[in-house]
Amino acid sequence: MLNSTFIDLLAQASKQAAGLEDGGVLSLALPLAPLDPLKALAALPGGDRFRMLWDGAPGFCFAASGLAQHLELSGPRRFELAQRFCQLSLARLGAEAISGPALARPRVLLAFSFFDSPLQNGRSLLPGVRAVLPRWQLSRQGQQAWLRLQRPLGGEVTPRYVAEELWDMAQHLERADWCLPLATIPKVLSKSPWQQAYRGAMDQALDLVERGELRKLVLAVRQHLQLDGPLEPQLLLAGLRKHQAGSCRFLWGEADGSVLVGASPERLLAVRKGELRCDALAGTAGQGEPAQALLHSSKDLHEHELVVGAIRAVLQQQGLSPNSLRAPRLARHGPLRHLHTPISATLSGQHPLTLAEALHPTPAVAGLPRKEAMAWLRSLEPFERGAYAAPIGWIDSAGDAELRVAIRSGVLRGQQLELTAGAGLVRGSEPQRELAEVALKLEVLQQQLSLAGDQFSTVAAG
């Protein structure tokens, strides 16, 4: 229930507006009953221009829509310029906007592409980075929920106008009986072949590894699925929430109708109160394989150690003292098992996006040496990676942040679904096993289509 009065909200809006400079953005927030952002996403205005869902339920999650301010650019300075955009956008909100609990803070939302620029020009190709200060943000953690509205002031958009808009939406959300829409899960009509082309590229990659030109290369494949009808992204995310509970689910929808959806098991980085955490995740076993065998596989342990060593080295170069376990542990994400080593450090003034630039891409999704591996990926993969294996996440007004690696993901465009998966190639890799690993990952992604078919539409928000 709303525990503020409109008079209180209007007074807060007037006070904040008085402290803003020209061009400032008024950012107001109200506490709500614990609504589920997944179910309420479609009700937030502006979703035709932009929408995002970040779903760590039962932990922190939020839905966002509309544009208050945004940035799109490509090039080698994308992390630096995105950092500047974050700092300026959040600073324009004023000190009053950051009061309240952590889950209610204003956030800039970020989606990078794997490479800093696409090889070709085209409207369907992603820029190097997209950064959004959303108009609407509905956040929840535990039994707390907050709704935030952010509007540039000017013309008819006065402090009273913003306060009324936020108040009316909060009342609408609290009165609604939230459930996901009923929808038929579409069938897959056709799948593009990938094995033959991938085997040829893999043979070249393994030859580079065996000759010592590369220590590791993570070669990916893309498969296109033609569906017999549209797939509702919210239903897909509901299925991922149920069956990929250990991962962070995400949705990023653009104005052209394309929607990136996924469930990432891998943090590039997370920052909470000056403490950094990264994930080293490499080495995969399927549900039918003995998971403990990963802990004794020389190939998988070697691949994992390369990732751990590279992340630690990058953090040390940034002036940090990383801590990590001596040996990996097993992590389960849906039907897949992985070797996992969390790595932590205490920050000393480093900005999250400075660290993200230094870390991306880790050897878990690119290879070693990084520069040479990136060049070979451009040569051997006959498609633009786009958002696949790139950072996606947010940074808030207190400097806390989380960026996930966009693996276990797909892109929806109408009745087409684009899936991407890869495998790490090192010395000792067996071609048939690597082919089987990629096929398994694609199969898991495709199974998530049917997982979304559960009757989540009958479950009330809560």
Point out the residues that are catalytic. Answer: 216, 266
Rounded (5°) CA angle 141-144-146: 95
d(CA 365, CA 272): 25
Would you state the structure tokens that stand for residue 344, as one six-digit string? 């932590």
What are the distances in angstroms from CA 178 to CA 34, 39, 173, 325, 371?
12, 6, 8, 43, 49
Contact predicate 224/191, CB 8 Å: yes
Contact predicate 432/198, CB 8 Å: no
d(CA 453, CA 183): 8
Would you state the structure tokens that stand for residue 115, as one six-digit string? 């490479």
Nearest to 250 by CA among 402, 447, 56, 443: 56
Percentages of the chain per state (helix, strand, coil), in multiples of 5: 35, 30, 35
Buried b (16+ CB within 10 A) or exposed e, 326-360: eebeebebbebbbbbbbbebebeebbbbebbbebb
Task: Say which DSSP state 349 is in.
Answer: S
